[in-house]
Amino acid sequence: MIPSRVCHLYPGSRFQGEQTSGSHSYSVIVDIKHVDLNQSTLSGYLLIKNLTPDYPKLTTFFDAEIIGPEFSFLTKKWDATEETDEEHWTQFSSFEGVVNLRDMERDFKYDFNNRDVVFMRWKEHFLVPDHRIEGVQGASFAGFYYICYQKITGKIKGYYYHQSSEKFQKLELDHVTERSFGSYEFR
Amino acid sequence: MTLTPHEVAVSQLEAGQAVTIERIRSLRFIKNNIIGNKTKKDLYIQLGIVSRLKDIVTTRDEKDPQLKTQAVIVLGSFAFGDEANILALTNSGVIGPLLDCLNPAGDPKLIEAAARTLNAIYASPKVSRQELFMGNHLNVLVQLLDTYSTSYRSNQEVIMLHTAELVASIFARCCETTDQQIQIAASGAIPLLMRLLVSGISKSQEAALGALAALVKDNSELAHHIANMRLETGERPAPYILRLACDKSPTMRLAAVTCLTYMNRAGVIQEHNSDIMLTVLPVLVKMLQLDGIVQETAPKVLAYLVWESESMQKAVCDMEAIPKLASIISHMGEEDNVYGIVGQKDKLKENSLLALAAISQIKEYCRRQVIEAKVLPHIVTAMSHPSVGVRAAACQCTRSLSRSVGSLRTSLVDAGIEAPLFQLLSDSDPGVLSSATATLCNIVLDVSPMKKSLMERGVVAKFVQMIGYGDNIVRLHAVWAIKNLVYEADSEVKETVMRQLGFHSLAALLNDAELDIQEQALNLVRNLACKRNQDIDLVFNGLGPGQLLSIIEDKLTWDDIRMLDHALYVLVNIATGTEYHRQSIMKRSGILRSVLGLMSHEAASIRVAAIWVIINLTWSEEDVAHGVHERVAILRSMGVEDRLHSLVTDSVPDVRERVKTALQHFVQDHQQYGHSGSPSVRHVGQDAYTSNEALGDSRMDTNTTVSGTGTSSHIA
């Protein structure tokens, strides 16, 4: 099982930037660990700095649903309604030209392979390195991110959504240039 | 002191000890005594009955077939349901005399009894099938399948039909190798089996299905032949068998879906793919809730049907097969192995584990269902099961489940698979060993928290040992595991690994007779030479630049995408190193020519990799700008820049983006040095390049930093 790659989305790829919440901003590093385009998924670690005093660095494992043949724009879970989907996806300027909302409601299959923009949902699951730790004072990863990645620029934008969190916390990441490439395969 | 009636009975079997009628009476006495009584069976075997029975079966005296028939029936009774007894019989050489009893001119009852006993004997996979394929036996058996060709009295009709069923069943059991399949097919059995298939008599139909399934299993040629035959009704077999898959009898359904599964996997009934999904899969899943042989066999067939098929795996997952399998495995105590024969409960466990392994092979969605079914602790326990089959199947499960970063970090750690898995690296069974090593390939990845402790346990030494002594599959897995282990590893880990493996072995693996192993070894070099100058030096000095680059140069000429990919990325990684590393590549005109050629490879991933080589060779770092200029000039003179221009409109965005970056390097060079380096101005040909190569050689010897000016003027 060889991991797949499309532009900046490959195992070992790193993105760096920040998450803004109101007037605060936190430095963020995302490391992609596995990509499986056939399954429309990828997974990785999301590291956020100085979010809480107890954890100067907080890393979570997340996996992604890549919008396409397997996953629709409509989330239908994680407390997201069609309204939530609409108000988040439309935050991305590149969304407008790509799909209209009527298409979204008809479960239109977005072809991420042949588009410049890839839309995803990133859902955090547990802490790294110790997955057994539950609940961190002052932090929560119960929600998920609406994500928009542009193949040409390597930029990722995202909005965090959780019912009881501040709305439209924004994630902005740039790809970190890497010039050497290892490779692994699941067996 | 007196003889027991059993001893008397055995002694009377000997020729000349009693009149025939007495001997028959003794046989009946013995038969009634041993039915369903294992203790009595063992007792009689100890009394030496088997050779007495064999003597009777071997006699040429055909006056009264009754004696022989009774002896054959008693042999069958011993064989039924006990593998140790079967082996006691075959060790006494009963198979030959039993096959001789099948002569169609003989007494039908004797023939039927002999077929029944042989069928019971062949239930054990440990029995050699060789004698059946010797002499005229196969032809005789085929004649017995032909129930319609001879005229017979109606009271014999049933006997002959039973015989035909038994022969079909014998064929099903003696059809394990391609050679056996071909011999049975060549004997003319298939049309007769087809006739039995449409006989409308359930038992006959089941037997025919069993034989047909065995003939088509993993044999696409025979499968194709059979799928395209016509039944007496003019119909093809598949739709007919599909109807039998919905029969009211569970054993008929099992026989039918097994046959369809093998035909489906052979790819010969593609027009029925949706029937397989909509009919066969649900029938198999429902069987998981039955009992006996049907429940035991169904998961194995299911595993075979969904193996490597993503759509089938998803479909069977949606039919809630995973909780059913999990429940079978979870509700089976270790003490449940009560059946004497080949551990039937073990088989159920083994087959259920195999099904879980198959279903969770590809999709994370299915893996998650296995985890949620809380069956993982039972899988881990099964890894230490006394039965080899169960251990291997459990290991196969962990292999499927470990193909997930999420599980590697959580459930697999919590379930404690590490210790039992490591233990299996010392297993005596090659199948278990191979399966365990395959699982470890995933467990030693950088994302796995178990990697560190496995290294402390000495897993690398184990891998190295397997590379030296294992079979080719185990060797492949071991190299694979080392490759995964050094992926994203720090320099210290890489050095530790290479101290144990040795560069001499690595060089040998790069030229191994098995291409798959070569590929893994090349991927290992790629991962070793990744990220830091220190790591590149490790490989460079370990293999020696000459040997390393010669290997790469050779691999770049292969017509094998995976090999090309790794070879190119070895260069990409080396080219991120020092001037010395880059110059070493530049000295190899063969390598540079191949890279230029691969920039136009039909696979976009190869084009991207080749362009990356160019990008890294022309990457500007402030302090060594002259070296860059020299390399740009050489590459330009070879036509690299022109080739990049031709790729500006490539259909793949990733290629176009890399081309942009690479061209920027050439443009920067123009801006800095003007057009002095342009081939269009100076028409530098291969000769100039070659002389530069010679210069490069002399510089490499002194190992000093390249001086750009001298080279430039030389090119000019």
- Give me the pLDDT at residue B206, please: 97
Question: Is residue B700 over pLDDT 70?
Answer: no
Residue B472 structure tokens = 């080719």
Cα(B634)–Cα(B686) distance, integer angstroms: 10
Contact B296, B284 (CB under 8 A): no
Tell me which of A104 and B619 has the higher pLDDT. B619
For residue B521, give how far its alpha carbon lies from the nearest alpha carbon of chain A (Å).
12
Highest mean pLDDT out of A91-100, B27-36, B216-225: B216-225
* Amino acid identity, position B264: N
- Give me the pLDDT at residue B207, please: 97
Lowest mean pLDDT among B47-61, B422-436, B689-703: B689-703
- Give me the pLDDT at residue B623, please: 61
Residues B414-435 have a mean pLDDT of 94
Compute φ and ψ for A25, nearest 5 degrees. Answer: -135, 145
Residues A3-19 have a mean pLDDT of 91
Position B21 confidence tier, pLDDT thresholds 50, 70, 90: confident
Helix (H) or strand (E) holding B551: helix B545-555
Cα(B112)–Cα(B316) distance, integer angstroms: 41
B324-328 contacts at long range (C-beta below 8 A, 24 or more positions apart)? B324/B285, B324/B288, B324/B289, B325/B288, B325/B299, B325/B352, B325/B355, B325/B356, B325/B359, B325/B373, B325/B375, B326/B356, B326/B370, B326/B373, B326/B374, B326/B375, B326/B378, B327/B373, B328/B288, B328/B295, B328/B299, B328/B352
Indicate which of B365, B442, B447 best probes the interface with A, i.e. most A CBs within 10 Å of its own CB.
Answer: B447
Question: Is residue A2 over pLDDT 90?
Answer: no
Tell me which of B332 and B628 has the higher pLDDT. B628
- Give me the pLDDT at residue A107, please: 65
CB atoms within 10 A of CB B526: 27
Is the Cβ pair A179, B612 closer than 8 Å?
A: yes
Is the Cβ pair B480, A185 closer than 8 Å?
A: yes
Question: Is residue B696 over pLDDT 50?
Answer: no
Q: Which residue of B has its CA nearest to A9?
A: B654
- B546 CA to centre of own chain: 38
For residue A74, give how far its alpha carbon lies from the nearest alpha carbon of chain B (Å).
18
Chain region(s) in chain B for CATH 1.25.10.10: 1-94, 288-335+342-443
Tell me which of B517 and B12 has the higher pLDDT. B517
Residues 6 or more apart whose Cβ sits within 8 Å of residue B337: B343, B345, B346
User: Does the reported pTM lie above 0.90?
Assistant: no
Is the Cβ pair B569, A181 closer than 8 Å?
A: yes
Residues B679-686 have a mean pLDDT of 41
Residue B363 structure tokens = 């999709």
DSSP at A183: -
Residues B319-346 have a mean pLDDT of 75
Pick B447's closest partner by Cβ from A33, A125, A181. A33
Indicate which of B365, B368, B405 best probes the interface with A, i.e. most A CBs within 10 Å of its own CB.
Answer: B405
Compute φ and ψ for B41, nearest 5 degrees. Answer: -60, -45
Q: Which residue of B has its CA nearest to A124?
A: B406
Q: How many CB pairs under 8 A join A and B?
A: 98
Spell out which residues of chain B touch residue A129, defining contact as CB-CB under 8 Å.
449
Is the Cβ pair A181, B654 closer than 8 Å?
A: no
Question: Is residue A53 over pLDDT 70?
Answer: yes
Q: Which residue of A has its CA nearest to B532?
A: A180
Per-residue pLDDT of B262-312, as tens digits, reads 999 999 999 999 999 999 999 999 999 999 999 999 999 999 999 999 999
Residues 6 or more apart whose Cβ sits within 8 Å of residue A88: A146, A159, A161, A168
As a whole-number percent, the residues of chain B with pLDDT over 70 amount to 91
Lowest mean pLDDT among A87-101, B405-419, B588-602: A87-101
- Give me the pLDDT at residue B566, please: 98
Cα(B173)–Cα(B141) distance, integer angstroms: 13
- A12 CA to centre of own chain: 16
Per-residue pLDDT of B464-493, as tens digits, reads 999 998 899 999 999 999 999 999 999 999
Contact B663, B641 (CB under 8 A): yes
Position B554 confidence tier, pLDDT thresholds 50, 70, 90: very high
For residue A174, give how far its alpha carbon lies from the nearest alpha carbon of chain B (Å).
16
Cα(B351)–Cα(B357) distance, integer angstroms: 10
Question: Is residue B699 over pLDDT 90?
Answer: no
Cα(B121)–Cα(B86) distance, integer angstroms: 6
* Amino acid identity, position B496: T
For residue A55, give how far its alpha carbon lies from the nearest alpha carbon of chain B (Å).
20
Residue B164 structure tokens = 């035909």
Per-residue pLDDT of B144-182, as tens digits, reads 998 764 455 567 788 999 999 999 999 999 999 999 999
Position B343 confidence tier, pLDDT thresholds 50, 70, 90: low
Per-residue pLDDT of B370-418, as tens digits, reads 999 999 999 999 999 999 999 999 999 999 999 999 999 999 999 999 9
- Give me the pLDDT at residue A106, please: 67
Is the Cβ pair A180, B527 closer than 8 Å?
A: no
Is the Cβ pair A183, B616 closer than 8 Å?
A: no
For residue A107, give how far its alpha carbon lies from the nearest alpha carbon of chain B (Å).
20
- Give me the pLDDT at residue B612, please: 97
Is the Cβ pair B487, A184 closer than 8 Å?
A: yes
Cα(A44)–Cα(A47) distance, integer angstroms: 10
Tell me which of A88 and A7 has the higher pLDDT. A88
* Amino acid identity, position B227: A
Tell me which of B420 and B706 has the higher pLDDT. B420
Is the Cβ pair B409, A61 closer than 8 Å?
A: yes
- Give me the pLDDT at residue A158, please: 97
- Give me the pLDDT at residue B619, please: 94
Pick B653's closest partner by Cβ from A43, A116, A185. A116
Spell out which residues of chain A touch residue B613, defining contact as CB-CB under 8 Å.
none
Q: What was the ipTM of the complex prediction? A: 0.94
Position B2 confidence tier, pLDDT thresholds 50, 70, 90: confident
Residues 6 or more apart whose Cβ sits within 8 Å of residue B600: B607, B643, B646, B647
- Give me the pLDDT at residue B608, please: 96
Cα(A42)–Cα(B289) distance, integer angstroms: 36
Position B6 confidence tier, pLDDT thresholds 50, 70, 90: confident
- Give me the pLDDT at residue B687, please: 41
Is the Cβ pair B488, A182 closer than 8 Å?
A: yes
Question: Is residue B131 over pLDDT 60?
Answer: yes
Is the Cβ pair B438, A187 closer than 8 Å?
A: yes
Class of domain B288-335+342-443 as given by CATH: mainly alpha
What average pLDDT does chain B have? 90
Spell out which residues of chain A touch residue B537, defining contact as CB-CB under 8 Å.
none
Is the Cβ pair B569, A183 closer than 8 Å?
A: yes
For residue B474, give how far its alpha carbon lies from the nearest alpha carbon of chain A (Å).
12
DSSP at B271: G
For residue A59, give how far its alpha carbon lies from the nearest alpha carbon of chain B (Å).
13
CA dihedral B215, B220, B226, B229 (to 10 degrees): -170
Bridge partners for A65 per DSSP: A41, A121
* Token pair 């302090």: residue: B623
Spell out which residues of chain A touch residue B410, defining contact as CB-CB under 8 Å.
126, 131
Pick B1-94's CATH classification: 3.40.190.10, 2.40.50.140, 3.30.70.580, 1.25.10.10.
1.25.10.10
Pick B477's closest partner by Cβ from A61, A116, A187. A187
Spell out which residues of chain A touch residue B566, defining contact as CB-CB under 8 Å.
183
Cα(A8)–Cα(A30) distance, integer angstroms: 12
Indicate which of B409, B450, B572, B650 best probes the interface with A, i.e. most A CBs within 10 Å of its own CB.
Answer: B409
> Would you kindly state where each structural domain of chain A is located, as residue ranges?
14-175
Per-residue pLDDT of A152-161, as tens digits, reads 899 999 999 9
Contact B31, B77 (CB under 8 A): yes
Contact B437, B425 (CB under 8 A): yes
Taking the alpha carbons of B576, B578, B584, B589 in that order, is the dihedral positive or negative?
positive
Bridge partners for A48 per DSSP: A28, A58
Question: Is residue A167 over pLDDT 70?
Answer: yes
Residue B134 to residues B186, B192, B374, B607, Cα–Cα distance (Å): 14, 21, 52, 58
- Give me the pLDDT at residue B708, please: 36
Residues B71-86 have a mean pLDDT of 92
